[in-house]
Chains A and B, each alone.
Chain A
Amino acid sequence: MASSSTFDVALQAKIKHHLERFETRRSAILPILNDIHQQYGFVSPAQVQALEDEFDLPRLQVQEVISFYSRYRQQQPSRYHVQFCDNIVCRMFASQQLIAKLKAKAAGCAAGTLSVEPVPCLGVCDGAPAMLVNDERHLRVTCDNLDGIIDDYLQRASDA
């Protein structure tokens, strides 16, 4: 099983750990999907199948979770995915203009590089407007500093 697995050795170990961690194996579904997302940014149909075949996690249960929670996606996201808060407080600090600006910027990038998604309150309203770029938080985003923040990421992408 180990050699032919869909998951690399480290991820297999994490999955096994989660499956033993809780009172029921089912509780491991979110932690496993979270780890898969941490590594790949999405979960593929092949991975869902492999969770059933290799780890005996019913596809129906896994799919129920994937379709319910906003973190889970079944297609590869852009290299840099921005979750921009568009809720009450950030809205007072021009989130809509900033999201529009980001969308325009994303349209000018190579496909698969940058995407933006308006999201509910990120729990950091004292630093409004706020956004997450992948798993990094940026506060007090302005029309002036937005380009610089994003260009740093794009630079990293082109260096890599």
Chain B
Amino acid sequence: MPDNLTKVKILTAFEGVPDSRTLTCYEAGGGYQALRKALALPPSEITAIVKASGLRGRGGAGFPTGLKWSFVPQDSDMPKYLVCNNDEGEPGTFKDRYICELSPHMLVEGMAISARAFGANKGYIYTRYEFFEEIAWLRTAIDEAYAAGYLGKNILASGFDFDLDHYEGAGAYICGEETGLLSSLEGKKGQPKLKPPFPAVSGYLGCPTIVNNTETLAAVPWIITHGAEAYRKIGTEKSAGTKLFCISGHVQKPGVYELPLGYPFMKFFAEEAGGMAAGRELKGCIPGGASAPILTPAELQDATLDYEDLAAKGSMLGSGAVIIVDAEQPMVELLKVVVDFFHHESCGQCTPCREGTGWLANIMHAYVKGEGKESDLPLMHNISQQMMGRTICALSDAAAMPTQAIVQKYQDELKNYLQAKAG
């Protein structure tokens, strides 16, 4: 039986350890032993272990990681690439930053192992440029790993070559979307591309490319060291392992917490984050970053932090960004910020997204000023409905889903706002 209550420190193993970012410290804690072990295995065995572990992508979509790697055509003689998505642009998300802060070597080691699994000899870490310090830490870790022979040619005399470089973005949420990211890495505007073909078949420069989130890749060394079964035992049937949850808003202890998937939401909220800040009252929670539909306090009571329960409640685990909304936060304001954000970040290629986010933003701007109508609420629902599933990437859906949820679940408050403004 998987255990969703016992805490295991995988990604946060080095929490509280001084100098945890250094190679010396990482090695002293067992670092790079997983790479040694992996290099002694046939590459297909690495993929098989990761598949069996149940690891799913931590960037938002939750796609099974080993399965994704197995889509890389092994008969192709094109170069293969591994790209780490460290763009962390989803509002409310700050967990990948924490990995950079604690253990950049865990990511580097995870990338070397993952690259070996499907035969990539070149990798990139793509980080948003605003992470100035974090980028410096990653660069230092890469340099240290090269000097120690964990990167470069003939790693640890295994015959495996893996070069890793760092690439910094320039301010665009859409570059977190994997195909937008690859366009950016090619030195172009960060516009997503239609899938299929998926990047695993045709990605960076048309070559087979795996894009994985930072947290996904950082979990790989532990899985190799402890085995698939050990990882599977943590969490739930469909959501194996631990996940980083970043909680923010007016709570006692905002921050990043590593928990087994399936952990009860209320237990996390009350015991780890310490509950609401003094004088604040819980009004709702966005459980997976700005794109995730909001949940009401009633829905939160029995919610568990895993892919399946949050999906069953009409929301999603997403990036693990838990945004607590308190009673002092007007929902009109929240909705306006959300739609403004997506409108601002739409790359403009697809009409439903470019126009739809714009219409939602226009409606909300008038609404906040008290110039709205009650019929705006069903109108926003309908516009959102038509924005879903019709575009190249999921940004349009990411704007539509939270809009529908707020409009539906907080309609009384939104209506009262209009009346108060009128009266």
Contact = CB atoms under 8 A, between A and B. Distances in A.
A23 interface: yes
Interface stretch (A44-52, A101-109, A124-132, A144-152): A124-132
B188 A26 contact: yes
A69 B89 contact: no
B97 to A, nearest CB: 5
B214 to A, nearest CB: 12
Nearest to B95: A123
Contact of B341 (A61, A120, A128, A137): A120
B248 A68 contact: no
A120 B342 CA distance: 10
A87 B94 CA distance: 13
Interface string B75-112: 00001000000001111111001000000000000000
A21 B326 CA distance: 48
A121 B168 contact: no
Nearest to A37: B170
A89 B184 contact: no
A64 interface: yes
A87 B170 contact: no
B3 interface: no
B167 interface: yes
B187 A24 contact: yes
A127 B249 CA distance: 10
B130 A123 contact: yes
Contacts of A24: 186-187, 205
A122 B248 CA distance: 13
B172 interface: yes
Contact of B94 (A34, A70, A86, A125): A125
B246 A125 contact: yes
A124 B94 contact: yes
A9 interface: no
Contact of A128 (B129, B248, B345): B248
Nearest to B172: A69
B329 interface: yes
Contact of A64 (B189, B344, B345): B189
B133 interface: yes
A28 B187 contact: yes
A82 to B, nearest CB: 13
A91 interface: yes
A124 B94 CA distance: 6
A153 interface: no
Given A24-B205, A123-B97, A64 B188 contact: yes
B143 interface: no
B186 to A, nearest CB: 6
B171 A34 contact: no
B232 interface: no
Nearest to A26: B187
Interface in B96-142: 97, 128-133
B132 A137 contact: yes
Interface string B331-353: 00110011001001100000000
Contacts of B205: 23-24
Given A30-B167, A89-B323, A91-B333, A135 B88 contact: no
Contacts of B325: 92
Given A68-B190, A121-B91, A121-B92, A88 B167 contact: no
B248 A125 contact: yes
User: What are the 8 A-B residue pairs with the smallest beta carbon separation, nearest first?
Assistant: A70-B171, A69-B170, A68-B189, A26-B187, A125-B248, A121-B91, A29-B187, A71-B170
Interface of B: 79, 88-94, 97, 128-133, 165, 167-173, 184-190, 204-205, 246-250, 254-256, 286, 290, 321, 323, 325-326, 329, 333-334, 337-338, 341, 344-345
28 contacts: A24-B186, A24-B187, A28-B187, A30-B167, A30-B184, A30-B187, A34-B129, A65-B188, A69-B170, A69-B171, A70-B172, A71-B171, A88-B91, A88-B92, A88-B323, A91-B337, A92-B329, A120-B91, A120-B173, A120-B344, A121-B89, A121-B290, A123-B130, A125-B254, A125-B321, A126-B246, A126-B254, A127-B254
